[in-house]
């Protein structure tokens, strides 16, 4: 049975060639393990905390040397997990780290599960849940701004805001419960107007957090676009122009692209995945048929489309058919090849509706800036600012919405003079939802799910 009291070990660095690898051991027996496998000038049990000793790792059974290492000793509670911890920095590469890992396990400790070091940090009160999630977001940050948002969260700025909200609800709940306890004695009855004011101001703050959080989640997860249009309009050229590299093959032959080719760009800190497709032309060719299936898939999985037309030609039936097919989802019309005399007439397909339109020359890289601006507008990221303490995960936003719903119920309850017990219940539920964000009342399955997202060794 796996227990949170076991001493655990894992390789904390990615596998493969590198300068060094780090093996991390955490738990009550960390120093016992170090004594068994490490030989150096000083004893790990005896040196002070946060000190590094040079020495070698040896197999405690065969006495065989495994690697020369630096061993860092960190004593509880001032460690990442809050437990006694040793970190062994050995030579990079797969074999030394793997051998040291096996040697540690041979002393009777076990391999750490995914995210178990961070889970222990959480269980030992070193981090709350929102901060633990911030660590995940730091690993997966795709842009500088995403990293900054995650660092704010790691600093506990979101948690601080949630705690302030909770404190004000707790005081409200106390007032209401007090009025229940002393209902007969008429000692203290909170005034209806002030209760409503407190509930509403909390709802306002939650609304603001949700609003900012929705756009901030763009920083974490980004957005994605499919480039769609008939053959030869310059879809692959547009992909290359946006990526600033020759990713996709470009030729004058219609039907050059068969597969979906994608790449990431960073527009003002928003990671955007762009997929070049082969479009939707009628075909009997098996390769193109598969390509068209992939275009459909790209269309379904991306958040919006870039509909490309050839500005030097008049619109054809095929342009119209493709446009009709994709117009239900958000899109930007991209008129390409504007370096050539313009013949296209877009009003033909837009039919009076208003769509963002951009004129570009993928060949000459003109109009790309304006296209980026339109993309930011379309995904609602023009006013995105990395504030301190913004919720960045869907989990946070769901819980904030749940808290808000309970408070709206509480508001109705107070307005309609419902029983204070019911109002206190709504407030309690709102408090639970807020508490779940920072991990105070988070069910075990949800905790497990969150820590499963981590890699082994973190
Ligand atoms: N003048 C001009 N030519 C362009 C421009 N963009 C693309 N082209 C040319 O148009 C032709 C087709 O370009 P691609 O980028 O391969 O077009 P595509 O839509 O990906 O074509 P398929 O993959 O065949 O569907 C090539 O000869 C390009 O050089 C542009 O902005 N101006
Ligand atoms: Mg192409």
List the chain residues with pLDDT less than 50: none
Residue 21, φ and ψ in degrees, nearest 5 = -125, 155
* CA separation for the pair 284, 37 (Å, rounded): 67
pLDDT at 182: 61
Specify the long-range contacts of residues 392-395, CB closer than 8 Å, at least 24 apart: 392/137, 392/149, 392/150, 392/153, 392/213, 392/216, 392/217, 392/219, 392/220, 393/133, 393/137, 393/217, 393/220, 394/217, 395/133, 395/437, 395/446, 395/450
Tell me which residue of 102, 138, 148, 92 sits closest to 10, measured CA to CA: 102
Could you read off the pLDDT of 245-270 as tens digits, one per residue? 998 989 998 888 888 999 999 998 88
Could you read off the pLDDT of 79-123 as tens digits, one per residue? 999 999 999 999 998 899 999 999 999 999 999 999 999 999 999
Q: 339: Cβ below 6 Å to ligand 1?
A: yes
Which residues, other chains included, contact 16 with Cβ-Cβ below 8 Å and sequence gap of 6+?
A: 93, 94
- For 225, counting Cβ atoms within 10 Å of its Cβ (0-12 exposed, 13-18 middle, 19+ buried), the class is buried
Q: 340: Cβ below 6 Å to ligand 1?
A: yes
Q: 234: Cβ below 6 Å to ligand 1?
A: yes
- Residues recorded for the chain: 458
Q: Classify strands 20-26 and 8-11 as parallel, antiparallel or unpaired.
A: antiparallel
Alpha-carbon separation of residue 51 from 45, 77, 86 (angstroms): 11, 15, 10
Nearest alpha carbon, ligand 1 atom 30: 337
pLDDT at 454: 86
Alpha helices in 361-393 (DSSP H): 368-378
What is the model's pTM? 0.73
Ligand index nearest the alpha carbon of residue 248: 2
Q: 180: Cβ below 6 Å to ligand 1?
A: no
Q: Is 132 left (phi over 0), alpha (psi -120 to 50) or beta?
A: alpha
pLDDT at 309: 97
* CA separation for the pair 278, 229 (Å, rounded): 8
pLDDT at 181: 63
Q: 255: Cβ below 6 Å to ligand 1?
A: yes
Alpha-carbon separation of residue 448 from 113, 185, 351, 394 (angstroms): 11, 48, 52, 17
Choose the residue to mutate in 234, 279, 371 for probing ligand 1, maximizing ligand atoms within 8 Å of C-beta: 234
pLDDT at 184: 59
Distance of CA 181 to the CA centre of its chain: 45
Three-class SS state of 452: helix
pLDDT at 49: 96
Nearest alpha carbon, ligand 1 atom 16: 250
Rounded to 5 degrees, what angle do the CA atoms 42, 44, 48 make?
Answer: 90
Nearest alpha carbon, ligand 1 atom 7: 234
pLDDT at 18: 86
* CA separation for the pair 352, 367 (Å, rounded): 24
Q: Classify strands 357-359 and 304-310 as parallel, antiparallel or unpaired.
A: unpaired
Ligand 2 center to 340 CA (angstroms): 19
Which residues, other chains included, contact 227 with Cβ-Cβ below 8 Å and sequence gap of 6+?
A: 235, 238, 239, 274, 275, 276, 277, 305, 306, 308
- For 280, counting Cβ atoms within 10 Å of its Cβ (0-12 exposed, 13-18 middle, 19+ buried), the class is buried
Q: Domains in the chain, please, with CATH?
A: 8-127 (3.30.1360.120), 132-218+389-452 (1.20.120.430), 221-378 (3.40.50.300)
Q: 268: Cβ below 6 Å to ligand 1?
A: no
Alpha-carbon separation of residue 149 from 139, 365, 385, 453 (angstroms): 12, 32, 10, 19
* CA separation for the pair 212, 210 (Å, rounded): 6
Tell me which residue of 300, 301, 294, 262 sits closest to 279, measured CA to CA: 294
Alpha helices in 74-156 (DSSP H): 94-106, 116-123, 129-140, 144-154
pLDDT at 351: 80
Q: 247: Cβ below 6 Å to ligand 1?
A: no
pLDDT at 178: 76
Q: 124: Cβ below 6 Å to ligand 1?
A: no
pLDDT at 293: 86
Q: Is 238 left (phi over 0), alpha (psi -120 to 50) or beta?
A: alpha
């Amino acid at each position: 049975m796996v227990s949170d009291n076991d001493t655990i070990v894992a390789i904390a660095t990615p596998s493969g060639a590198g300068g060094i690898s780090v093996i991390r051991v955490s738990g009550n027996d960390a120093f016992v393990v170090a004594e068994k496998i490490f030989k150096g000038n000083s004893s790990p049990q005896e040196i002070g905390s946060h000190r590094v000793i040079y020495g070698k790792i040896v197999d405690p059974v065969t006495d065989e040397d495994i690697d020369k290492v630096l061993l860092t000793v960190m004593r509880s509670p001032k460690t990442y997990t809050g437990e006694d911890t040793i970190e062994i920095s050995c030579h990079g590469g797969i074999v030394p780290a793997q051998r040291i890992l096996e040697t540690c396990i041979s002393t009777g400790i076990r391999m750490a599960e995914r995210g178990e070091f961070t889970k222990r940090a959480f269980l030992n009160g070193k981090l709350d849940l929102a901060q633990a999630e911030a660590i995940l977001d730091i690993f997966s940050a795709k842009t500088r701004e995403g990293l900054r948002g995650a660092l704010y969260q790691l600093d506990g700025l979101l948690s601080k805001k949630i705690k302030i909200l909770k404190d004000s609800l707790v005081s409200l709940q106390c007032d209401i419960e007090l009025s229940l306890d002393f209902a007969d004695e008429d000692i203290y009855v909170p005034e209806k107007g002030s209760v409503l004011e407190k509930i509403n101001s909390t709802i306002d703050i939650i609304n603001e957090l949700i609003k900012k959080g929705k756009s901030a989640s763009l920083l974490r997860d980004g957005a994605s676009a499919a480039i769609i249009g008939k053959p030869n309009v310059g879809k692959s050229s547009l992909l290359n122009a946006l990526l600033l590299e020759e990713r996709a093959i470009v030729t004058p032959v219609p039907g050059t692209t068969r597969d979906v080719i994608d790449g990431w760009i960073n527009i003002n800190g928003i990671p955007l995945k762009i997929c070049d497709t082969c479009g939707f032309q009628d075909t009997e060719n098996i390769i193109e048929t598969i390509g068209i299936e992939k275009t459909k898939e790209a269309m379904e999985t991306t958040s919006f489309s870039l509909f490309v037309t050839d500005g030097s030609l008049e619109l054809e039936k095929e342009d119209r058919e493709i446009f009709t097919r994709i117009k239900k989802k958000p899109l930007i019309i991209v008129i390409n090849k504007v370096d050539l005399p313009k013949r296209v007439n877009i009003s033909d397909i837009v039919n009076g509706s208003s769509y963002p339109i951009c004129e570009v020359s993928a060949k000459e890289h003109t109009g790309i800036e304006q296209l980026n601006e339109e993309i930011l507008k379309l995904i609602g990221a023009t006013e995105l600012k990395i504030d301190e303490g913004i919720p960045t995960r869907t989990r946070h936003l769901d819980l904030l919405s749940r808290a808000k719903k309970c408070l709206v119920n509480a508001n109705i309850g107070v307005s309609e003079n419902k029983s204070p017990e019911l109002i206190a219940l709504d407030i309690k539920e709102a408090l639970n939802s807020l508490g779940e964000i920072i991990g105070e009342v988070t069910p075990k399955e949800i905790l497990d799910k969150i820590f499963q997202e981590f890699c082994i060794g973190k």
